[in-house]
Amino acid sequence: MIKMAGAVKNENLILERESSILIKGRQRKSRLKCDTDSIAGCVSQRACVYCGARVVLNPVTDAIHLVHGPIGCASYTWDIRGSLSSGSELYRNSFSTDLKENDIIFGSEKKLAGAIDELVQKYRAELVFVYATCVVGVIGDDLEAVCKAASKKHGIKVIPVQSSGFIGNKSAGYRAACDALLRLIEPPGGAKRHTKKINYLGDFNLAGEAWIITGYLRQIGVEINVVFTGDSNYHNLQKAPEASLNIIQCAGSMSYLARRMEELYGIPSLQVSFLGLEDTSASLRNIAAFFNDARMMNLAEELIERETGAFRPQIERYREKLEGKKAAVYVGGGFKAISLIKQFREIGIDVVMVGTQTGREEEYRILHDLADDGTVILDDANPSELERFMIEKGAHLLVGGVKERPLAYKLGMAFIDHNHDRKHPLSGYVGAVNFAREVYSTVCSPVWKYAREI
């Protein structure tokens, strides 16, 4: 374990947090405590099981997303994500059983059944996700039974999502969502395997990112069967078993689903990343290599050459301005953090602090290998740790979500929005340029001339 006192001042550090923070090269151990419950009073940046489940399922466009619980959980998750749809807009509504005191006392199964009836009748949906919230887990509503009865009554899929907030952390919510998706996927019963069709797991089509990647793959002769879950719908999700390969971008949320699909349907999986030029090119090559198809490999090389040729010069121009700057990264999952370290190197920036809300042990191992000596690596951080390490390491910018943004700004640091709210794509070649431009526009903004020297 790290001796924080020797490395940095230890005034405000909460003792229980020590094993979740390490500095590369300062201690023999490279293991980090992760994937555990947050510690009370730490002001963790993590949300809950429900959050994890909702993030993964919400992009399913033609589903009724019904939150079974008091109003707050539905209120805070209504249309807050930038997932785009090519069809239904139903997913942009937030439905709630809006439980009140009497419902808590007398039970709320009837209300839930009534809510499903009302919504299905009004919106004619074929798919309903019912999210359990904290109280539902405590008052003992039989969610399974209500959903089963409603499925039968309406002849549609009503799937319960076991996402009571207290049963674990955000990762447990990912798993609950994947379990719900597995219930949706039909058994293969004679489903024809398409040799060049693949499923794309862990892209939520923020600002059309899944469309960008679909376009690339089509150019090299690969068809996307279905994306989990960006711009997906009931019917194309059901066809998931027809694919011959699962590629996974967001591993934190989707590796469980991939593993289950391999067990159930024999679909192999491949980890990819479309963040940054280097990773995008490598991922396209790996997909082509998987199919062992010479023509596909050639097409991939052509695409890579064409796109890098078009975008690298722009990125180089930004790199000249950004060389030598230092970045801090605090994001949701490990895969994104790993890609970001590489992506920052492409534009001449070193990562001096990197952490995630839900990273897993193997991801932290990769982060540790990838990081420069002296980089602070931390799991489930809080504002006071972020503040302290960003200042100590002299970071010029932070990558994070909505909650972290004002902290960075108040500290006089640039900020990159790498969250689900954003309205611009960061995936693929076009995304790599967007990223470089965003970094440039915030790091090199003239406002810092005034806001830092006070």
Partner 1 sequence: MAREKTTYRMVNENPCNMCMPMGGILPFKGIEESMVIIHGSQGCSTYMRRHIAEHYNEPIDVGSSSLNEKGTVYGGAQNLFQALDNIRKVYRPRLIGILTSCLAETIGEDVEGIARYYLKQRGLEGISLVAVSTPGYGGTHSEGYWLAVKKIVAGLAETTGKHGGINVIVPNLSPADIREIKRILNLMGVRYTLVPDISDTLDRPIARPYTKIPPGGTSIESVRRMPGAAATIQFGVTVEEKLSPGHYLQSEFGVPLYNLPVPMGVEATDRLVDLLAQLSGNSAPQILNMERGRLLDCMVDSHKYNALGSGALFGDPELVYAVARTCAENGLYPAVVATGSGNAILEELLGPILADSPQQARYLNEADFTQIREACRETGVNIAIGHSDGKYLTEREGIPLVRIGFPIHDRVGGQRLLSVGYTGTTMFLDRVTNTILEHKHRNYRAAMYRKFYRKTGIEECPHEKYCAKEVR
Interface of this chain with partner 1, residues 386 to 425, rule: CB under 8 A:
387, 401-403, 405-407, 409-412
Closest CA to 344 of 388, 389, 306, 399: 399
Phi/psi for 270 (5° steps) reads: -140, 125
**104 belongs to the binding site for partner 1 (CB under 8 A):** yes
CB of 2 to partner 1, least distance (A): 18
* Burial class of residue 436, CB neighbours in 10 A (0-12, 13-18, 19+): buried
Q: Which stretch binds partner 1 (CB under 8 A): 112-120, 235-243, 317-325, 329-337?
A: 112-120
245-248 vs 269-271, strand pairing mode: parallel
C-alpha 289/C-alpha 441 separation (Å) is 37
**5 belongs to the binding site for partner 1 (CB under 8 A):** no
Residue ranges of E strands in 143-276: 157-161, 197-203, 223-229, 245-248, 269-271
Of residues 33-72, those binding partner 1 (CB under 8 A):
37-51, 66, 69-72
**277 belongs to the binding site for partner 1 (CB under 8 A):** no
Residues 268 and 262 sit within 8 Å (Cβ to Cβ):
yes
Residue that has been written with the tokens 């809510």 in this structure: 115
Binder of partner 1 out of 6, 101, 187, 189 (CB under 8 A): 101
376-379 vs 21-23, strand pairing mode: antiparallel
CB of 268 to partner 1, least distance (A): 35
Both tokens assigned to 132: 């359990």
CB of 115 to partner 1, least distance (A): 4
C-alpha 171/C-alpha 117 separation (Å) is 31
CB of 399 to partner 1, least distance (A): 16
236 versus 419: smaller Cβ distance to partner 1 = 419
Number of amino acids touching partner 1 (CB under 8 A): 74
Residues 356 and 332 sit within 8 Å (Cβ to Cβ):
yes
x/- letters, 350..389, toward partner 1 (CB under 8 A): --------------------------------xxx--x--
Binder of partner 1 out of 61, 169, 244, 442 (CB under 8 A): 169
**75 belongs to the binding site for partner 1 (CB under 8 A):** yes
CB of 103 to partner 1, least distance (A): 7
